[in-house]
Amino acid sequence: MKDQFSLIIGGQALAGDRGTFKVLNPATEEVLAECPFASPEQVDQAVKAAEEAFKSWQYSSDDERTAALNAIADKFEAHAEELAEIITLEQGKPLDLARFEVGGAVAWTRYTASLEIPVEVIEDSDVRRAELHRKPLGVVGSITPWNWPLMIAIWHVMPAIRTGNTVVVKPSSMTPFNTLRMVELMNEVLPAGVINIVTGEGGIGSSMVKHEGIRKIVFTGSTPTGQNIMRNAADNLKRLTLELGGNDAGIVLPDADIDKLAPAIFQSAFINMGQTCAALKRLYVHDSQYDALVDKLAELARAQKVGPGLDAGVTFGPVQNRDQFELVEALVEDARRNGARIVAGGERVGDRGYFYAPTIVADITDGTRLVDEEQFGPALPVIRYSDVEDAIRRANDNPNGLGGSVWGSDIEQAKQVASRLESGTAWINNHAEVLPHCPFGGCKMSGIGTEFGLDGLLEYTQSQLLNISKG
């Protein structure tokens, strides 16, 4: 990883006006590097640079934008190992998973490049022709989290650029370096000011949200922060895409082949050490298979090799930061005090780094913090049920509604149950799979707006009707 990083504003590398701040390696709890600390004035400078670039970029052709995104994907491929190593060092995930993240970012960029922005003919009669066109909004502000630092930045930024907008991105202060490197590479392809990046701790994100020059905010993160963004974006009626918290429920039906499905259930819950918005976070299992499935999941948990992501053979890295580690620890301890059975894990691993053993918790039910709250970490509560109708009710009895899943052998029955889940996505015999061509978004308190596919792309546009009189 490079020793020094800079803000990129209007194509220029700049130091932060407020000096630097420390970024920790979660595997060692030691300082990884210093990151530039931008000022609110530099946020304003970045917005002005994006506004200036928008004057010409909005009129770029589809072919120019498509070529630019494919050239960016080429850059990412050429620097794939570098990008993956940065992800592992600052986020903690095993290197193979970081490589998967980079590969996903490349594929997502190329898919976004391939999308066509439609012109819809509403009417073509002897009287008039009415065409619905899509125009870019202006400057888009992207605020990204620490769990998938490259992938989620790609989800935010590429549709914005493909539709002719310009961007100011602010990554999490816990994982800024991969996004800084991403923007450096993009600036080798794009005109100056099309993509800008500011980094910092408290106050930088709110400066973006309140800035009148930013026409849309895309945010992935917690529900309370999303609510605050929505309040602060009201003054100039910013467009918003908010992908917020999830406490996704999975229901295992009595006919499920648990020998076949257990590995997929485990992977769905513990992907990225459980630090994924749409991971499976509470699992409802029928009485008839409860004990057997708990045992199988516990066996899979104990088989994981926990350690630093760059070490050979490691399958399970650290929790990304101390606050999240302490939350997971507190939720598991609360479950233990309330009579739950810790079947696997339930403890810190080692004496440095935020390593927590993958944890399976049984004999637990709704009303316990680990079930009711989003743990966003390596602990899965497994809840017993006797009646499917009751399982559906309990799965829906939560303020979040990002994803949900049903696991069973009778697909038609599983579809009927899945259709009753209050979630933006309902998977069958799968969970947490997001795809570039499939729209994704939450309901209830899990956010507003849609990402991915054509629906997600068009959220970065303003419709304009051309009404052509033939009279």
Q: Under a CB-based contact definition with an 8 Å cutoff, are residues 261 and 429 in contact?
A: yes
What amino acid is encoded at 390 in this protein? D
> Residues in the chain, how many?
471
Instruction: Check if the beta carbon of residue 235 is closer than 8 Å to that of residue 212.
Output: yes
Please identify which of the residues 101, 184, 277, 459 carries the catalytic annotation.
277
- Classify 339 in phi/psi space as left (phi over 0), alpha (psi -120 to 50) or beta: left
Neighbours of 48 (CB within 10 A): 18
Distance CA 451, CA 156 (A): 8
Nearest to 168 by CA among 117, 97, 103, 217: 217
Active site residue 277: yes
> Residue 294 gets which letter from DSSP?
H
Residues 241, 448 contacting (CB under 8 angstroms): yes
Of 85, 184, 243, 329, the catalytic one is 243
Which amino acid is present at 152? I
Distance CA 286, CA 252 (A): 7
The DSSP secondary-structure symbol of 234 reads: T
Contact 94, 306 (CB under 8 A): no
- Alpha helices for 200-280 (secondary structure H): 204-210, 223-232, 258-270
Residues forming the active site: 243, 277
